[in-house]
Amino acid sequence: MPSRADRPDNPVACIGWVGGQGNLASLAAIGPILQRLAERRRFRFTVVSDGRFELDGVEVVNIPWSLERQEEEIARFDIGVMPLEEATPWSHGKCSYKLLQYMAAGVAPVASPVGMNTEVVEDGVNGLLAGDPQAWELCLTRLLDDAPLRLRLGVAGQRTVAEGYTYPVIAERWCDFLQATFNVHP
In the chain, pLDDT over 70 holds for what percent of residues?
95
Torsion of CA 46, 47, 52, 58, to 10 degrees: -40
- DSSP class of 10: P
pLDDT (0 to 100) of residue 97:
93
- Enumerate residue ranges in the chain where pLDDT < 50: none
Under 8 Å between Cβ of 62 and 83: no
Best CA proximity match to 158, nearest among 3, 27, 49, 41: 3
pLDDT at 91: 67
Structurally, what CATH architecture does the domain formed by 4-182 represent?
3-Layer(aba) Sandwich (3.40)
Indicate the length of the chain as a whole number.
186
